[in-house]
Structure 1
Protein backbone atom coordinates (compact mmCIF):
# COMPACT_ATOMS: atom_id res chain seq x y z
CA UNK A 1 0.00 0.00 0.00
CA UNK A 2 2.81 2.40 0.93
CA UNK A 3 4.47 1.72 -2.44
CA UNK A 4 1.22 2.60 -4.22
CA UNK A 5 1.02 5.97 -2.43
CA UNK A 6 4.63 6.73 -3.26
CA UNK A 7 4.03 5.81 -6.90
CA UNK A 8 0.90 7.99 -7.07
CA UNK A 9 2.73 10.88 -5.42
CA UNK A 10 5.59 10.60 -7.90
CA UNK A 11 3.17 10.48 -10.85
CA UNK A 12 1.34 13.57 -9.53
CA UNK A 13 4.66 15.41 -9.02
CA UNK A 14 5.85 14.53 -12.53
CA UNK A 15 2.52 15.59 -14.08
CA UNK A 16 2.68 18.90 -12.21
CA UNK A 17 6.24 19.51 -13.39
CA UNK A 18 5.28 18.74 -16.99
CA UNK A 19 2.26 21.06 -16.76
CA UNK A 20 4.47 23.84 -15.41
CA UNK A 21 6.86 23.37 -18.32
CA UNK A 22 4.11 23.78 -20.93
CA UNK A 23 1.87 26.43 -19.36
CA UNK A 24 3.42 29.83 -19.98
CA UNK A 25 0.34 32.08 -19.84
CA UNK A 26 -3.28 32.36 -18.77
CA UNK A 27 -6.15 34.58 -19.86
CA UNK A 28 -7.16 37.25 -17.36
CA UNK A 29 -9.95 39.83 -17.25
CA UNK A 30 -7.56 42.47 -18.63
CA UNK A 31 -5.67 40.34 -21.16
CA UNK A 32 -3.05 37.72 -20.33
CA UNK A 33 -0.48 36.94 -17.67
CA UNK A 34 2.67 35.15 -18.85
CA UNK A 35 5.20 33.58 -16.50
CA UNK A 36 8.44 32.47 -18.09
CA UNK A 37 11.00 30.21 -16.41
CA UNK A 38 14.77 30.00 -16.29
CA UNK A 39 16.25 29.51 -19.76
CA UNK A 40 13.13 30.58 -21.69
CA UNK A 41 13.82 32.81 -24.69
CA UNK A 42 11.71 35.90 -24.00
CA UNK A 43 11.06 36.93 -27.60
CA UNK A 44 10.38 33.38 -28.85
CA UNK A 45 7.78 32.92 -26.10
CA UNK A 46 6.08 36.27 -26.85
CA UNK A 47 6.09 35.60 -30.60
CA UNK A 48 4.66 32.08 -30.19
CA UNK A 49 1.98 33.45 -27.85
CA UNK A 50 0.97 36.19 -30.34
CA UNK A 51 0.73 33.70 -33.19
CA UNK A 52 -1.17 31.05 -31.23
CA UNK A 53 -3.68 33.51 -29.75
CA UNK A 54 -3.94 35.53 -33.00
CA UNK A 55 -3.16 38.76 -31.14
CA UNK A 56 -3.97 41.74 -33.41
CA UNK A 57 -1.69 44.04 -31.37
CA UNK A 58 -0.84 44.50 -27.70
CA UNK A 59 1.15 46.34 -25.08
CA UNK A 60 3.09 44.51 -22.39
CA UNK A 61 5.12 45.11 -19.26
CA UNK A 62 7.21 42.80 -17.16
CA UNK A 63 9.79 42.22 -14.46
CA UNK A 64 11.98 39.39 -13.20
CA UNK A 65 15.45 37.93 -13.71
CA UNK A 66 17.21 38.00 -17.08
CA UNK A 67 20.25 37.69 -19.26
CA UNK A 68 19.61 40.40 -21.81
CA UNK A 69 21.16 42.13 -24.80
CA UNK A 70 20.48 45.84 -25.09
CA UNK A 71 21.07 47.75 -28.28
CA UNK A 72 21.91 51.41 -28.68
CA UNK A 73 20.63 52.69 -32.04
CA UNK A 74 23.45 54.54 -33.79
CA UNK A 75 21.80 57.20 -35.97
CA UNK A 76 24.83 57.47 -38.25
CA UNK A 77 25.13 53.77 -39.09
CA UNK A 78 21.41 53.01 -38.58
CA UNK A 79 22.40 49.87 -36.69
CA UNK A 80 22.14 48.73 -33.10
CA UNK A 81 25.32 48.52 -31.05
CA UNK A 82 24.72 45.54 -28.73
CA UNK A 83 25.84 45.00 -25.16
CA UNK A 84 25.12 41.94 -22.99
CA UNK A 85 24.09 42.01 -19.34
CA UNK A 86 23.95 38.70 -17.48
CA UNK A 87 22.45 37.67 -14.15
CA UNK A 88 20.51 40.91 -13.82
CA UNK A 89 17.19 41.87 -12.28
CA UNK A 90 14.77 43.31 -14.82
CA UNK A 91 13.16 46.13 -12.87
CA UNK A 92 10.94 47.09 -15.76
CA UNK A 93 10.19 46.08 -19.33
CA UNK A 94 7.71 47.73 -21.69
CA UNK A 95 6.88 46.84 -25.23
CA UNK A 96 4.39 46.37 -27.99
CA UNK A 97 3.31 43.53 -30.22
CA UNK A 98 2.43 44.30 -33.83
CA UNK A 99 2.94 42.65 -37.23
CA UNK A 100 5.32 43.23 -40.12
CA UNK A 101 5.14 41.37 -43.44
CA UNK A 102 3.00 38.62 -41.89
CA UNK A 103 5.25 38.01 -38.87
CA UNK A 104 5.05 39.09 -35.25
CA UNK A 105 7.05 42.26 -34.60
CA UNK A 106 8.12 43.15 -31.06
CA UNK A 107 9.45 46.50 -29.88
CA UNK A 108 10.80 46.27 -26.35
CA UNK A 109 12.68 48.49 -23.91
CA UNK A 110 13.75 47.81 -20.35
CA UNK A 111 15.91 48.57 -17.36
CA UNK A 112 18.07 46.07 -15.48
CA UNK A 113 19.93 46.39 -12.20
CA UNK A 114 22.89 44.52 -10.81
CA UNK A 115 23.76 43.48 -7.27
CA UNK A 116 25.52 46.83 -6.80
CA UNK A 117 22.19 48.55 -7.68
CA UNK A 118 23.59 50.19 -10.81
CA UNK A 119 21.03 50.41 -13.61
CA UNK A 120 21.33 49.97 -17.37
CA UNK A 121 18.62 50.17 -19.97
CA UNK A 122 17.52 50.68 -23.50
CA UNK A 123 16.18 48.80 -26.50
CA UNK A 124 16.06 45.05 -25.82
CA UNK A 125 17.42 43.02 -28.74
CA UNK A 126 16.85 39.66 -27.04
CA UNK A 127 17.24 37.74 -23.84
CA UNK A 128 16.52 34.73 -21.72
CA UNK A 129 15.08 34.30 -18.27
CA UNK A 130 17.81 34.06 -15.66
CA UNK A 131 17.60 32.49 -12.22
CA UNK A 132 13.98 32.72 -11.15
CA UNK A 133 11.17 33.79 -13.41
CA UNK A 134 9.86 36.64 -15.54
CA UNK A 135 6.27 37.89 -15.23
CA UNK A 136 4.69 39.68 -18.19
CA UNK A 137 1.28 41.35 -18.26
CA UNK A 138 -0.15 41.62 -21.77
CA UNK A 139 -2.99 43.98 -22.71
CA UNK A 140 -4.51 43.15 -26.09
CA UNK A 141 -5.77 45.85 -28.49
CA UNK A 142 -8.59 45.10 -30.94
CA UNK A 143 -6.85 46.65 -33.97
CA UNK A 144 -4.31 44.77 -36.04
CA UNK A 145 -1.33 47.10 -36.21
CA UNK A 146 1.68 46.88 -38.51
CA UNK A 147 5.23 48.14 -38.33
CA UNK A 148 6.51 49.94 -41.40
CA UNK A 149 10.15 50.59 -42.27
CA UNK A 150 10.77 54.34 -42.58
CA UNK A 151 13.75 55.04 -44.79
CA UNK A 152 14.90 58.43 -43.49
CA UNK A 153 14.93 57.09 -39.92
CA UNK A 154 16.31 53.70 -40.89
CA UNK A 155 14.00 51.94 -38.45
CA UNK A 156 10.62 50.22 -38.15
CA UNK A 157 7.82 52.45 -36.86
CA UNK A 158 4.41 51.41 -35.56
CA UNK A 159 1.69 52.52 -37.98
CA UNK A 160 -1.62 53.53 -36.40
CA UNK A 161 -3.56 52.58 -39.53
CA UNK A 162 -5.63 49.43 -39.03
CA UNK A 163 -4.80 46.50 -41.32
Structure 2
Protein backbone atom coordinates (compact mmCIF):
# COMPACT_ATOMS: atom_id res chain seq x y z
CA UNK A 1 0.00 0.00 0.00
CA UNK A 2 1.40 3.35 -1.06
CA UNK A 3 0.60 6.60 0.78
CA UNK A 4 0.79 10.32 -0.03
CA UNK A 5 -0.28 13.24 2.17
CA UNK A 6 -2.45 15.50 0.00
CA UNK A 7 -3.53 18.14 2.54
CA UNK A 8 -3.89 18.81 6.23
CA UNK A 9 -5.16 15.51 7.65
CA UNK A 10 -5.94 14.22 4.14
CA UNK A 11 -4.24 11.22 2.57
CA UNK A 12 -4.29 9.26 -0.66
CA UNK A 13 -3.47 5.55 -0.52
CA UNK A 14 -3.09 3.15 -3.41
CA UNK A 15 -3.88 -0.46 -2.70
CA UNK A 16 -1.99 -2.77 -5.02
CA UNK A 17 -3.12 -6.00 -6.65
CA UNK A 18 -4.02 -8.61 -4.03
CA UNK A 19 -4.25 -6.28 -1.02
CA UNK A 20 -7.40 -6.79 1.05
CA UNK A 21 -9.28 -3.54 1.75
CA UNK A 22 -10.57 -4.22 5.30
CA UNK A 23 -7.08 -5.30 6.41
CA UNK A 24 -5.63 -2.09 4.96
CA UNK A 25 -8.34 0.04 6.62
CA UNK A 26 -7.47 -1.55 9.96
CA UNK A 27 -3.79 -0.62 9.42
CA UNK A 28 -4.82 2.95 8.52
CA UNK A 29 -6.93 3.15 11.70
CA UNK A 30 -4.00 1.93 13.78
CA UNK A 31 -1.72 4.48 12.10
CA UNK A 32 -3.94 7.52 12.68
CA UNK A 33 -5.69 6.40 15.92
CA UNK A 34 -8.59 8.77 15.16
CA UNK A 35 -11.94 8.85 13.37
CA UNK A 36 -11.46 8.66 9.58
CA UNK A 37 -13.78 9.14 6.62
CA UNK A 38 -12.89 6.89 3.68
CA UNK A 39 -13.87 6.75 0.02
CA UNK A 40 -12.36 4.89 -2.92
CA UNK A 41 -12.59 3.94 -6.57
CA UNK A 42 -10.78 1.30 -8.58
CA UNK A 43 -11.25 -2.33 -9.45
CA UNK A 44 -11.61 -5.42 -7.31
CA UNK A 45 -12.29 -9.13 -6.96
CA UNK A 46 -13.02 -11.66 -4.20
CA UNK A 47 -15.68 -9.65 -2.36
CA UNK A 48 -18.16 -10.47 0.33
CA UNK A 49 -21.10 -8.09 0.74
CA UNK A 50 -23.92 -8.08 3.23
CA UNK A 51 -27.52 -6.98 3.30
CA UNK A 52 -29.02 -6.17 6.71
CA UNK A 53 -32.23 -8.17 6.97
CA UNK A 54 -33.76 -6.88 10.18
CA UNK A 55 -30.96 -7.38 12.68
CA UNK A 56 -28.86 -9.99 10.82
CA UNK A 57 -26.71 -9.78 7.71
CA UNK A 58 -27.23 -12.01 4.70
CA UNK A 59 -23.79 -12.44 3.07
CA UNK A 60 -23.02 -13.02 -0.60
CA UNK A 61 -19.66 -13.68 -2.28
CA UNK A 62 -18.61 -12.14 -5.61
CA UNK A 63 -15.56 -13.80 -7.19
CA UNK A 64 -15.33 -12.22 -10.66
CA UNK A 65 -13.58 -8.94 -11.56
CA UNK A 66 -15.57 -5.76 -10.89
CA UNK A 67 -15.37 -1.99 -11.21
CA UNK A 68 -15.52 -0.38 -7.78
CA UNK A 69 -17.98 2.44 -8.46
CA UNK A 70 -18.59 3.55 -4.87
CA UNK A 71 -16.80 2.88 -1.58
CA UNK A 72 -17.88 5.04 1.37
CA UNK A 73 -17.38 4.61 5.07
CA UNK A 74 -15.65 5.37 8.32
CA UNK A 75 -12.97 4.05 10.62
CA UNK A 76 -13.83 4.25 14.31
CA UNK A 77 -13.04 2.14 17.38
CA UNK A 78 -14.60 -0.41 19.70
CA UNK A 79 -12.39 0.00 22.75
CA UNK A 80 -8.90 -0.20 21.23
CA UNK A 81 -10.09 -2.33 18.29
CA UNK A 82 -10.17 -0.55 14.92
CA UNK A 83 -13.69 -0.83 13.48
CA UNK A 84 -14.00 -0.04 9.75
CA UNK A 85 -17.58 0.36 8.48
CA UNK A 86 -17.91 0.54 4.69
CA UNK A 87 -20.63 0.23 2.06
CA UNK A 88 -19.71 -0.40 -1.58
CA UNK A 89 -21.24 -0.58 -5.02
CA UNK A 90 -19.61 -2.67 -7.74
CA UNK A 91 -20.40 -3.16 -11.42
CA UNK A 92 -19.84 -6.26 -13.55
CA UNK A 93 -18.95 -6.58 -17.27
CA UNK A 94 -22.63 -6.35 -18.21
CA UNK A 95 -22.98 -3.09 -16.25
CA UNK A 96 -25.06 -4.71 -13.51
CA UNK A 97 -24.55 -3.03 -10.14
CA UNK A 98 -24.45 -4.74 -6.74
CA UNK A 99 -23.99 -3.13 -3.35
CA UNK A 100 -23.97 -3.68 0.36
CA UNK A 101 -22.07 -3.73 3.62
CA UNK A 102 -18.42 -4.68 3.03
CA UNK A 103 -16.92 -7.71 4.76
CA UNK A 104 -14.08 -8.48 2.32
CA UNK A 105 -12.68 -6.98 -0.91
CA UNK A 106 -9.40 -7.56 -2.76
CA UNK A 107 -7.88 -4.82 -4.93
CA UNK A 108 -7.48 -6.02 -8.53
CA UNK A 109 -5.50 -4.48 -10.08
CA UNK A 110 -5.64 -1.45 -7.75
CA UNK A 111 -7.74 0.95 -5.66
CA UNK A 112 -7.34 4.66 -4.98
CA UNK A 113 -8.38 5.28 -1.37
CA UNK A 114 -8.97 8.78 0.01
CA UNK A 115 -8.82 9.25 3.79
CA UNK A 116 -9.74 12.28 5.86
CA UNK A 117 -8.56 12.13 9.49
CA UNK A 118 -10.55 13.94 12.19
CA UNK A 119 -9.36 15.19 15.58
CA UNK A 120 -11.36 12.78 17.73
CA UNK A 121 -11.18 9.05 18.32
CA UNK A 122 -14.85 8.04 18.09
CA UNK A 123 -16.00 4.86 19.82
CA UNK A 124 -18.68 2.33 18.88
CA UNK A 125 -20.70 0.37 21.39
CA UNK A 126 -23.15 -2.49 21.06
CA UNK A 127 -26.81 -1.47 20.92
CA UNK A 128 -29.07 -4.30 22.09
CA UNK A 129 -32.13 -3.03 20.17
CA UNK A 130 -30.49 -2.85 16.74
CA UNK A 131 -27.91 -5.55 17.57
CA UNK A 132 -25.29 -3.33 15.94
CA UNK A 133 -22.19 -1.44 17.08
CA UNK A 134 -23.30 2.20 16.86
CA UNK A 135 -21.12 5.32 17.09
CA UNK A 136 -21.21 6.76 20.59
CA UNK A 137 -21.80 10.52 20.84
Greater percentage in strand? 2
C-alpha distance in structure 2 between counterparts of 1:100 and 1:24, whole Å:
26
Cα distance in structure 2, aligned partners of 1:34 and 1:151 = 36
Q: Radius of gyration: which is bigger?
A: 1
Query: Structure 2-normalised TM-score?
Result: 0.92
Q: Partners of 2:78 and 2:104 in 1: how far apart? A: 18
Matched, 1:112 2:90: yes
Query: TM-score with structure 1 length normalisation?
Result: 0.78
Matches within 5 A, 1:1-163: 23-30=1-8, 31-54=10-33, 56-67=34-45, 68-75=47-54, 78-86=55-63, 87-130=65-108, 132-160=109-137
Choose between structure 1 and 2 for higher RCO, CA contacts under 8 A separated by at least 6 residues.
2
Unaligned segments of structure 1, at least 5 residues: 1-22
Equivalent pair of 2:32/2:117 in contact (CA under 8 Å) = no
In the TM superposition, structure 1's runs of 4+ consecutive aligned residues that sit over 6 Å from their partners are: none
**Cα RMSD, aligned residues only:** 1.2
SS at 1:48 equivalent: helix
Q: Deviation at 1:52?
A: 2.3
Give 1 or 2: higher helix fraction: 1
- 2-structure distance, mates of 1:138, 1:158: 19
1:61 Cα deviation from its structure 2 partner = 0.5
* Unaligned residue ranges in structure 2 (runs of 5+): none
